[in-house]
């Protein structure tokens, strides 16, 4: 198979074909996910919680992400690799340029930033410097202390409209993909329809252009708790590879996420 690029993912959206994604943190799982046909691998700052045992993503550093990005890049030959920019690693444009450069050099194909229209200048600057950007809206875990916990976002009309406005602004600034987390299904559908770039959902309903799960949640081995939007595929199949295959199949055919994994207005 050819290496997946952002052009591949855009073509998937345009053809109405769902995009499959998982987090990965090491070479062995990256190789397994890659061989099963997972299109996007994210080195998430979720590693702070599922690998390090922290109660949030905030302690994760750029060095942490770079280390795991190198491992994932060594294992994956086809998948498109996205690396999270950790908390406060892009507080200024210059910080963002330096830290994004570190992650791209480690093997990322794209970096992901959490936040709305305040990031537009930084995103434009990154794109001008050859760094593809994925935005992240809805529940942005790096802002958990502002939100007052891990809560569904965009349930009232004003906040839903602000999220749509931010999504359009990020795309106009040069973002080439968007992760949308923990929003009502109707909002996930509307954002996906309004944007020309791929929208990857996690707890955003079945109508986004693709789905991503934290691998530990998908395999039922999370050290914390099982989110409503996740599903334990390992318990259903009893085999690691079959679990990944079933997840990919259910994303592709629109069976996952079901209503029980989604949020209403």
Position 133 in a domain = yes
Q: How much is the pLDDT for 56?
A: 86
CA dist 165 to 107, 211, 218, 238, Å? 32, 22, 31, 43
**Longest Cα pair distance anywhere in the chain, in angstroms?**
47
H/E segment holding residue 133: strand 133-138
Q: What total number of domains does the chain contain?
A: 1
Determine, yes or no, domain membership for 198: yes
Q: What are the backbone dihedrals phi and psi of residue 210, each rounded to the nearest 5 degrees, phi first?
A: -165, 180
Residue 31 belongs to domain spanning: 6-261
40 Cα distance to chain centroid: 9
Instruction: Judge whether 34 is annotated as a binding position.
Output: no
The answer to whether 26 is a known ligand-binding residue is no
pLDDT single digits (tens) 173-184? 999 999 999 999
Would 104 be classed as within a structural domain?
Answer: yes
CATH label of the domain that carries residue 91: 3.20.20.60
In this prediction, residue 44 carries a pLDDT of 97
In a domain, 161, yes or no: yes
pTM equals 0.96
In a domain, 1, yes or no: no
Confidence of residue 226 (pLDDT cuts 50, 70, 90): confident
Query: Does 45 appear as a known binding residue?
Result: yes
Residues annotated as catalytic (active site), given as ranges: 181
Residue 143 has pLDDT above 80, yes or no: no
> Is 43 part of any domain?
yes
């Amino acid at each position: 198979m050819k290496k997946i690029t952002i052009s591949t993912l855009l073509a998937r959206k345009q053809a109405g074909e769902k995009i499959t994604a998982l987090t990965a943190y090491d070479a062995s799982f990256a190789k397994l996910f890659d061989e099963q046909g997972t299109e996007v691998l994210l080195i998430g700052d979720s590693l702070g919680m599922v690998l390090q045992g922290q109660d949030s993503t905030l302690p994760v550093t750029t060095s942490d992400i770079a280390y795991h990005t190198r491992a994932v890049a060594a294992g994956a030959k086809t998948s498109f690799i996205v690396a999270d920019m950790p908390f406060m690693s892009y507080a200024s444009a210059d910080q963002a340029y330096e830290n994004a450069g570190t992650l791209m050099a480690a093997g990322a194909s794209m970096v992901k930033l959490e936040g709305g229209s305040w990031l537009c200048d930084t995103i434009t600057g990154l794109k001008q410097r050859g760094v593809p950007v994925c935005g992240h809206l809805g529940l942005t875990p790096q802002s958990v202390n502002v939100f007052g916990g891990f809560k569904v976002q965009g349930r009232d009309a004003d906040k839903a409209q602000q999220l749509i406005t931010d999504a359009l602004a990020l795309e106009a600034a040069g973002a080439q993909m968007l992760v949308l987390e923990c929003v009502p299904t109707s909002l996930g559908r509307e954002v996906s329809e309004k944007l020309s770039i791929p929208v990857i959902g996690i707890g955003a309903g079945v109508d986004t252009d693709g789905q991503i799960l934290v691998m530990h949640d998908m395999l039922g081995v999370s050290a914390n708790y099982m989110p409503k939007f996740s599903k334990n595929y390992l318990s259903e199949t009893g085999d690691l590879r079959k679990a990944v295959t079933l997840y990919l199949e259910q994303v592709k055919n629109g069976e996952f996420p079901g209503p029980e994994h989604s949020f209403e207005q």
